[in-house]
Structure 1
Amino acid sequence: MDLTGARWRKSTKSGGNGGDCVEVADNLPGVVGVRDSKDPLGPALAFGPAAWRAFVGSTRRR
């Protein structure tokens, strides 16, 4: 999946020290990218929007 043009962001709750964070890019049509902030040039996961909404929804209920 091509993530060229992705605008990566991390949670405002992650703090400013860089730490162990996951970054998300949700600005691309039809795909949500997820990567490790410690390895921005490393691999990224790609999810369909419905799968991403289901994942986020399940984490909010916990």
Structure 2
Amino acid sequence: MFIEQSGEIPRTKYQLAVVSLSGELMGSCGIRIESPRHASIGCELGRQWQGAGAARDAGNALIEFGFV
């Protein structure tokens, strides 16, 4: 499904990997552009990464990507 969404024009859905500074997969995050200046975001992380600020960092990056 994510591969199919990556080919849509215009593209409105992005699902991205979240990795640690050492390159370890932590989870994923996504943004779906619903309409101009409106979107939904989500983040899924492995238990060992929860509470470490990674979801906040990923969310901030998604907001910057989608709206800046």
Q: TM-score range by the shorter chain?
A: 0.3 to 0.5
Please tell me whether Structure 1 or Structure 2 has the larger radius of gyration of its CA atoms: 2
Structure with the higher strand share, 1 or 2: 2
Bigger proportion of residues as helix? 2
TM-score using structure 2 length: 0.32
